[in-house]
Structure 1
Amino acid sequence: MTDRVMLDIETLGLDPGATIVALAAVRFDADGVGDTFQRSISMTSCQRAGLTIDAETLDWWLAQDELAKEQLSGGDRLADVLEDFAEWYGDADEIWANSPSFDCDILSAAYDAVGLDEPWDFWNERDFRTLSSFEAAPEPEQAGVEHDALDDAVHQAEIAAETLRRLGEPEVKA
């Protein structure tokens, strides 16, 4: 069985080096979703690590509904969250994101900013956006809060799991 992780982050910018306010992930396979990881990250700790806040992205966040905006306050120290995520991630086979060129790149930059290595190798990155464009992909309504990192990760993982089930569970090449 392939150990897959769907990642979603919420940020205050669109480029590597942006402040991350929430990090969530869920394990999944063709049978569905499993164990989850969710943490809120302190904006102050991100800025202390040299990460930046983009004013346009902050304005966009301030226009979101109250439940989504809750991610902008509080949170734990960036380095602590990244260490905990690396431990939770373990030796997973694949990391999925919508898309890796956003989530994985920004998260990698955050790991660099605090002097840690991300827990995955670039060749383990998979693109949910590509998978969800296949005709076999379902189009369910999202449960939960849009732009909540965990709700987004679970929604994406559910679609990916069903799509993989419909396509036939591929084996990971050793």
Structure 2
Amino acid sequence: MKNKLMVDCETLDIGERPVLLSIGAVVFNDQQIQDYFEYFINKETAISEGFTVSQSTLDWWDQQDPDARAYAFNGEGDIQEALKALVQFYELNECTEIWSKG
């Protein structure tokens, strides 16, 4: 049975290279969810790599529930480590597809 990876990210822009606040993913097949992945990123590590922030997205975040905002902006991880960990998660679970909106 083929494993697939579904990815969801919280971001600070809607452009091609937005700052990632977090990456969430699940491995699944036609029968069940196999495994979970979650990584919270320090936004400054992404900004230093040239990822983008838009004022309209910051404004949107300002309108969200304070607990949700605090949760999203609490990352301590490095963007490069987050992306490497996601690739390793994909490979470890022998995924054949990636699903994501956007």
Q: TM-score, normalised by structure 1?
A: 0.54
> Which one has more relative contact order, counting CA pairs under 8 Å at least 6 apart?
2
Alignment pair present for 1:96 and 2:99? yes
Alignment pair present for 1:57 and 2:57? yes
What does 1:7-86 align with in structure 2 at a 5 Å threshold?
Answer: 7-69=7-69, 70-86=71-87
- Structure 2 residues not aligned, in runs of 5+: none
CA distance in 1, matches of 2:45, 2:95: 27
What is the CA distance between 1:12 and its match in structure 2?
A: 0.3
Is the Cα contact below 8 Å between 1:21 and 1:75 reproduced in 2?
no
Question: Letter of the aligned partner of 1:11 in structure 2?
Answer: T
CA distance in 1, matches of 2:12, 2:54: 6
What is the CA distance between 1:88 and its match in structure 2?
A: 0.7
What is the CA distance between 1:67 and its match in structure 2?
A: 3.2
Query: How many residues matched?
Result: 99
What is the CA distance between 1:32 and its match in structure 2?
A: 1.9
CA distance in 2, matches of 1:74, 1:7: 18
Q: Deviations over 1:16-36 (max 9, x none)?
A: 111010101001122121201
What is the CA distance between 1:4 and its match in structure 2?
A: 0.6
Question: Letter of the aligned partner of 2:3 in structure 1?
Answer: D
Question: Letter of the aligned partner of 2:86 in structure 1?
Answer: F
Q: TM-score, normalised by structure 2?
A: 0.90
What is the CA distance between 1:66 and its match in structure 2?
A: 2.6
What is the CA distance between 1:68 and its match in structure 2?
A: 2.0
CA distance in 2, matches of 1:32, 1:68: 28
Alignment pair present for 1:6 and 2:9? no
The structure with the largest alpha-carbon Rg is 1
Moved over 4 A (4+): none
Which structure dedicates a bigger proportion of its chain to helix? 1
The secondary structure found in structure 1 opposite 2:95 is: coil
The secondary structure found in structure 1 opposite 2:17 is: coil
Which structure dedicates a bigger proportion of its chain to strand? 2
Is the Cα contact below 8 Å between 1:39 and 1:75 reproduced in 2?
no
Is the Cα contact below 8 Å between 2:22 and 2:75 reproduced in 1?
no
